[in-house]
């Protein structure tokens, strides 16, 4: 998985086509989408029109809660592949744990493993999983079968219980909403650190996450911002910078729908 990807949450229609096409032209090779985003067809169109060889791309999609049952997951993934114009995706995630545990996690994981066996996805993983849910998934399939847990992490929600458990287990994490919907751009500490490096608070936030070993999938529609975000791959923050950002955690969760699990 390329460590810096292009998120497509809340991007639809021509907007997402332009964003993905532009990102690919700048060098992005990791594209993140989901069934519930309603943009898989447009993402597929942008990929097809980009001219970038399939072998160079890493494409992630996520199974929505309505399709977590054993008899629904693979048909829904095949529909996603049709929309994406792909024979297989690189990674398929359980987007959210089944609300209220309506579908046993073991059933969903077994269906995902079957999808992998059939060649529909090269890897499987989790998203929005708590410590207890990660523990259950690892107990069923083993940590080596799980490519990542994609969770909300940014300077204002550092999700330390999840991070500590995942690290102890050797489970990779992907940080979504890494820029906290743009809130990082006005934080005084991040502004000060950015000024010291001659860069932007967005680059600082992304670099802070990358230096901790997370993958990041910022969403951006502007080529200038997409290009700037790529700069986070070469920005090196000092130990003092990292320590200052660590103090910004205030438990500010931005993604918590009514069906979310009981957060750690």
Question: Which entry of 28, 37, 176, 181 is annotated as an active-site residue?
Answer: 37
Any residues with CB less than 8 A from the CB of 79 and at least 6 apart, and which?
none
Q: Can you count the helices (H) and strands (E) in the chain?
A: 10, 8
Cα dist. 152→79, 128, 170, 221 in Å?
27, 8, 18, 20
- Catalytic residue at 37? yes
Element at 175 (helix H, strand E): strand 173-176
Count of CB atoms situated within 10 Å of the CB of 257: 9
Instruction: Please tell me the distance from the alpha carbon of residue 186 to that of residue 19, in angstroms, as a whole number.
Output: 24
Q: Which residues participate in the annotated binding site? A: 95
Q: Which residues participate in the annotated binding site for substrate? A: 95
Cα angle 132, 98, 158; round to 5: 50
Active-site positions?
Answer: 37
């Amino acid at each position: 998985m390329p460590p810096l990807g292009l998120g497509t949450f809340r991007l639809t229609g021509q907007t997402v086509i332009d964003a993905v096409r532009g990102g690919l032209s700048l060098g992005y090779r990791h594209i993140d989408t989901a069934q519930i985003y309603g943009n898989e067809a447009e993402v597929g169109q942008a990929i097809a029109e980009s001219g970038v060889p399939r072998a160079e791309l890493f494409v992630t999609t996520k199974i929505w809660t309505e399709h977590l049952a054993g008899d629904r997951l693979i048909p829904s993934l095949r529909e996603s592949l049709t929309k994406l114009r792909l024979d297989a995706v690189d990674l398929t995630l359980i987007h959210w744990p089944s609300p209220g545990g309506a579908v046993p996690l073991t059933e969903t994981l077994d269906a995902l493993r079957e999808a992998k066996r059939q060649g529909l996805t090269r890897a499987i993983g989790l998203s929005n999983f708590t410590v207890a849910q990660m523990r259950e998934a690892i107990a069923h399939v083993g940590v080596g079968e799980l490519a990542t847990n994609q969770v909300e992490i940014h300077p204002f929600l550092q999700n330390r219980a999840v991070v500590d458990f995942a690290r102890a287990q050797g489970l990779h994490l992907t940080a979504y909403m890494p820029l906290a919907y743009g809130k990082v751009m006005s934080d005084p500490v991040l502004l000060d650190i950015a000024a010291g490096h001659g860069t932007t608070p967005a680059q600082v936030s992304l670099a802070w996450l990358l230096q901790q070993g997370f993958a990041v999938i910022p969403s951006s529609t502007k080529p200038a911002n997409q290009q700037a975000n790529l700069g986070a791959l070469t920005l090196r923050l000092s130990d003092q910078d990292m320590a200052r950002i660590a103090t910004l955690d205030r438990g500010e969760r931005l993604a918590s729908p009514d069906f979310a699990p009981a957060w750690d």
